[in-house]
């Protein structure tokens, strides 16, 4: 089969001039094989393989033929490398592959990645051909399940070839924190730079920020094969800028150029916002104003698109959620797609992001887990510049599986896992709030020795019973910190169009408006979603949503809109 590739040239802006970064998209049609019987060696050798074709990005389970398939899916395609890339560093980059993956290029094994929602890349410079087609092979495996959401299999986000000089910028981060008393904005710029050669280099990074007339210049020096982080801080007058918030999501642009010996070798451009979210006592303040913000959870799920999250879908969903009076949520139990975060940046929707550690039996919930630390560091690195991201969560609903409900507590391993991750986030990002989502903070016998509430900035809890009582009890157990009810519900509400919220749930939501320490609530959830978890209806979709899986509204939609309208008065 012939494949067509797209060459994308990324141009610098402002004082940058010529192109610096070249990328080649590998999205499109790939060969595909779903097989748990073929060995990797047979697939690599193309031994008696009857290939199907499949679109990338995508999920194999959106196709009827593979809708129930669980296990290994092999993806293969050919690509050509432009001769102009010769002598440069070439990488293959994956936005996400669920859940575990292995990658080969021209028969060379590049590595294995674990975790289905975050990006990873491999340097393939030494394995490519310039005079003939190259072949990439990916093995995805969706056997691992967590939570009640569907384990959509395959290459769910973009695949890209990237070409750089020997020295490149891995990332640029910008924090812009207002000081209202001093009428200043503190800017913190952080650059991660990498030298892939045997030579030592000296150079500089020139950064241009919209609304700041002169470039910011940072000198750098790199030894051979060295990776380092450079940081620069400075202050500007606050009155020269507009703040980012949920009513006025003002965005600015940071564009940086990396120069070596006067030659531009790399550049990067990111949008950012100037805002400050902080806890004072039992209240939450956004830009020096106390706020209470409600939300909706949203599962990355659609019958046609799986969890690939096309632009039109995330824009449609988030604008609809915003129209209901929602401004704040931990939307999902896993890292969100980049295009969804960009929508949230643009509409002023505040997000807590979470790594996918869930429930009473998650094998990753042990202290100082290197894999969950890797997930968290990758998440922070990828999403640091998004002003919509205001907090990090270490996991969801961890609890001991043995005691009855109402008596469940964290196991020692789970407690120590959460505590170690809350300590670790302090090494990665001190500009945002930190938390985890608890089901045990209102259990009998809970205290600071078995629930690490002392390490969080605010308390997140879920409740599917008497949520008002759960919030009150949590406040009695751990006074002095604000509480966000990150999920509440009262059983699946049924299909569209007539299904409603239960009366007692509406009563709890209305009652909690009077709790001064409660900074918001978030109903689970916006959309029905595919699942094979216990209690799922015969339709195969869990019917918790105020819209169904096709986004048809239920009676509950208008009910929730009225509840949130009364909160916002």
All structural domains of the chain: 6-164 (2.60.120.260), 167-272 (2.60.40.10), 277-567 (3.20.20.80)
Backbone phi, psi, residue 537, to 5°: -60, 170
| Cβ(395)–Cβ(376) below 8 Å | no
- pLDDT higher than threshold 80 for residue 70: yes
| Residue 192 CB coordination number (10 Å) | 15
pLDDT at 8: 35
pLDDT at 17: 38
Whole-angstrom distance, CA of residue 505 vs CA of residue 509? 6
- pLDDT higher than threshold 80 for residue 383: yes
Q: Which helix (H) or strand (E) segment is 508 a member of? A: helix 503-511
Q: What is the mean pLDDT of residues 43-65?
A: 96
Q: What is the pLDDT of residues 303-315, one digit of tens each?
A: 999 999 999 999 9
**pLDDT above 90 as % of the chain:** 94
Q: Please report the beta strands in 159-308, taking only residues with DSSP state E, as ranges in sequence order.
A: 159-164, 167-179, 184-195, 201-209, 216-222, 227-237, 252-260, 263-272, 277-280, 283-286, 289-291, 295-296
Looking at residue 322, the DSSP 8-state letter turns out to be H
Q: What is the mean pLDDT of residues 372-391?
A: 98
Q: What is the mean pLDDT of residues 520-528?
A: 98
Q: Helix, strand, or coil here: 176?
A: strand
Q: What is the pLDDT of residues 115-146, one digit of tens each?
A: 999 999 999 999 999 999 999 999 999 999 98
Q: What is the pLDDT of residues 20-32, one digit of tens each?
A: 679 999 999 999 9
Q: What is the mean pLDDT of residues 402-420?
A: 96
The mean of the pLDDT values for the chain is: 95
- pLDDT higher than threshold 80 for residue 205: yes
Strands 159-164, 72-79: parallel, antiparallel or unpaired by DSSP?
A: unpaired
Q: What is the pLDDT of residues 262-297, one digit of tens each?
A: 999 999 999 999 999 999 999 999 999 999 999 999
Whole-angstrom distance, CA of residue 200 vs CA of residue 203? 10
| Residue 422 CB coordination number (10 Å) | 20
pTM over 0.85: yes
- pLDDT higher than threshold 60 for residue 4: no
Q: What is the pLDDT of residues 223-233, one digit of tens each?
A: 999 999 999 99
pLDDT at 2: 34
Whole-angstrom distance, CA of residue 479 vs CA of residue 517? 9
Whole-angstrom distance, CA of residue 447 vs CA of residue 395? 19
| Cβ(134)–Cβ(393) below 8 Å | no
Q: What is the mean pLDDT of residues 81-93?
A: 96
In a 10 Å sphere around its CB, with 0-12 CB exposed, 13-18 middle and 19+ buried, how is residue 405 labelled? exposed
- pLDDT higher than threshold 90 for residue 18: no
């Amino acid at each position: 089969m012939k494949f067509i590739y797209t060459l994308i040239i990324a141009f610098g802006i402002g004082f940058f001039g010529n192109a610096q970064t070249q990328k080649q998209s590998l999205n499109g049609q790939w060969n595909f094989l779903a097989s748990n019987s073929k060995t990797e060696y047979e697939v690599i050798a193309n031994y008696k393989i009857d290939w199907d074709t499949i679109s990338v990005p995508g999920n194999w389970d959106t196709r009827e033929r593979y809708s129930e398939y669980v296990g290994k899916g092999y993806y293969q395609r050919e690509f050509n490398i432009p001769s102009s890339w010769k002598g440069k560093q070439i990488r293959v980059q994956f936005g996400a592959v669920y859940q575990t993956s292995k990658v080969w290029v021209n028969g060379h094994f590049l590595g294995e990645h674990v975790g289905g929602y975050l990006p990873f890349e491999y340097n393939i410079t030494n394995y490519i051909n310039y005079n003939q087609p190259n072949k990439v092979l990916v093995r995805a495996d969706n056997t691992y399940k967590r939570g009640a959401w569907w384990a959509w299999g395959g290459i769910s986000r973009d695949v890209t070839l990237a070409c750089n000089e020997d020295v490149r910028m891995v990332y640029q981060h910008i924090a812009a924190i207002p000081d209202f008393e001093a009428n200043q904005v503190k800017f913190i710029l952080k650059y991660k730079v990498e030298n892939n050669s045997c030579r030592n280099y000296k150079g500089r990074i020139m950064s241009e920020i919209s609304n700041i007339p002169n470039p910011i210049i940072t000198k750098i020096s790199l030894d051979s094969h060295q990776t380092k982080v450079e940081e620069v801080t400075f202050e500007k007058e606050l009155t020269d800028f507009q703040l980012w918030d949920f009513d006025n999501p003002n965005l600015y642009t940071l564009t940086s150029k990396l120069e070596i010996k006067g030659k531009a070798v790399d550049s990067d451009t990111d949008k950012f916002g100037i805002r400050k979210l902080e806890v004072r006592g039992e209240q939450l303040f956004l830009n020096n104003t106390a706020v209470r913000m409600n939300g909706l959870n949203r599962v990355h799920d659609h019958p046609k698109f799986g969890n690939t999250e096309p632009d039109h879908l995330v824009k449609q969903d988030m604008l609809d959620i915003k129209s209901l009076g929602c401004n704040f949520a931990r939307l999902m139990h896993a890292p969100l797609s980049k295009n969804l975060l960009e929508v949230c940046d643009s509409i002023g929707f505040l997000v807590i992001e979470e790594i996918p550690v869930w429930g009473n039996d998650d094998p990753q919930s042990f202290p100082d887990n290197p894999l969950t630390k890797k997930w968290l560091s990758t998440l922070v690195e990828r999403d640091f510049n998004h002003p919509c991201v205001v907090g990090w969560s270490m996991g969801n609903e961890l609890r001991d599986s043995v005691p009855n409900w109402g008596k469940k507590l964290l196991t020692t391993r789970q407690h120590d896992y959460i505590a170690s991750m809350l300590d670790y986030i302090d090494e990665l990002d001190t500009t945002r709030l930190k938390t985890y989502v608890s089901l045990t903070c209102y259990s009998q016998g809970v205290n600071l020795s078995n629930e690490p509430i002392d390490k969080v900035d605010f308390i997140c809890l879920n409740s599917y019973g008497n949520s008002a009582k759960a919030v009150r009890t949590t406040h009695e157990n751990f006074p002095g910190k604000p509480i966000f009810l990150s999920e509440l519900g009262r059983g699946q509400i049924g299909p569209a169009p007539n299904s409603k919220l239960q009366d007692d749930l509406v009563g709890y939501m209305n009652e909690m408006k009077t709790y001064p320490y409660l900074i918001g609530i978030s109903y689970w959830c916006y959309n029905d979603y595919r699942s094979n978890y216990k209690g799922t209806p015969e339709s195969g979709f869990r019917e918790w949503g105020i819209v169904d899986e096709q986004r048809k509204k239920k009676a509950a939609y208008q009910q929730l809109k009225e509840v949130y309208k009364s909160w916002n008065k």
